[in-house]
Amino acid sequence: MSPVATPRPAGTPTQLCERCGAAMRCGLTAGDAACWCASLPVVDGARLRRPDGGAWGACLCPACLGALATGTNDPDDAPNTRH
Ligand SMILES: [Zn+2]
């Protein structure tokens, strides 16, 4: 086992989603080798924009990334068909 600085319990939320405010865990923030988002299908960069056209300043939760990846850009209007 290699030494790991300040190990955290897996799944501990490390930040809040900038889009919907849900507690989520960013692998990079948590010190993982890679974030779970790296395993997601590549999302069109143009879709990863806020409704006002700006860029998100932090990681988004799985639900929001999934919504953006499928073109749904309103958290209150997101279909709950994906898990
Ligand atoms: Zn979110």
Residue reference for tokens 């600085």: 5
Q: d(Cα 14, Cα 10) in Å, to the nearest integer?
A: 10
10 domain residue, yes or no: no
8 domain residue, yes or no: no
4 domain residue, yes or no: no
Domain count for the chain: 1
38 domain residue, yes or no: yes
Which tokens is 58 given? 């932090």
Residues with CB under 5 A from ligand 1 (ion): 17, 19-20, 22, 61, 64
Which tokens is 72 given? 């749904």
Could you tell me the distance, in angstroms and rounded to a whole number, from the CA of residue 3 to the centre of ligand 1? Answer: 32
Check if the beta carbon of residue 11 is closer than 8 Å to that of residue 26: no
83 domain residue, yes or no: no
Show the domain range for 55: 15-77
Question: 18: left (phi > 0), else alpha (psi -120 to 50), else beta?
Answer: alpha
Per-residue pLDDT of the chain (83 residues; tens, 9 = 90+): 666 666 555 567 778 888 899 998 888 778 888 888 777 766 666 677 788 888 877 778 888 888 887 776 555 555 555 55
71 domain residue, yes or no: yes
Q: d(Cα 38, Cα 52) in Å, to the nearest integer?
A: 25
